[in-house]
Amino acid sequence: MADSFLPIALTLLAAIGMAAGILGLTHIVGRVRGSRTDLTPYECGMPPFESARHRFSVKFYLVGMLFILFDVEVAFLYPWALTLHDGGRALFVFGEMAVFGGVLVLGYIYVWRRGALEWD
């Protein structure tokens, strides 16, 4: 029983050793290149023009949530595509996905008409 776990343990030990070695090597060999733009709060180097305690509009969060909501459909498309190859149930699976897509399109139209996607 212990012999069957030996390859797994060796692989895990090699992965940990490789990660530690790479991190140690970059710490020893790498140079710290600090500049004025690296120390600014933004990666692009632009100076901040507002306080960080600025309140964001609810529309900002609404657009983010809507993006996640409509992006979840991609997670359902992959298993659907795999199941569609079944011979007898292909029409039923296609109909289910058509209903799902129709609900998403109706939701998108509703959100668009309500003006939730407009950025003020």
Q: Tell me the domains of the chain and their CATH numbers.
A: 2-114 (1.20.58)
Q: What is the pLDDT along the chain (120 residues), one digit of tens a residue?
A: 677 889 999 999 999 999 999 999 998 888 777 776 666 666 555 566 666 677 777 777 887 888 887 788 778 777 777 777 766 677 787 888 889 889 888 988 988 888 877 766
pLDDT at residue 101, rounded to an integer: 86
Biggest distance spanned by C-alpha atoms of the chain:
65
Residues 70/104, Cβ–Cβ less than 8 Å? yes
pTM equals 0.46
Residues 63/116, Cβ–Cβ less than 8 Å? yes
Q: Three-class SS of residue 51? A: coil
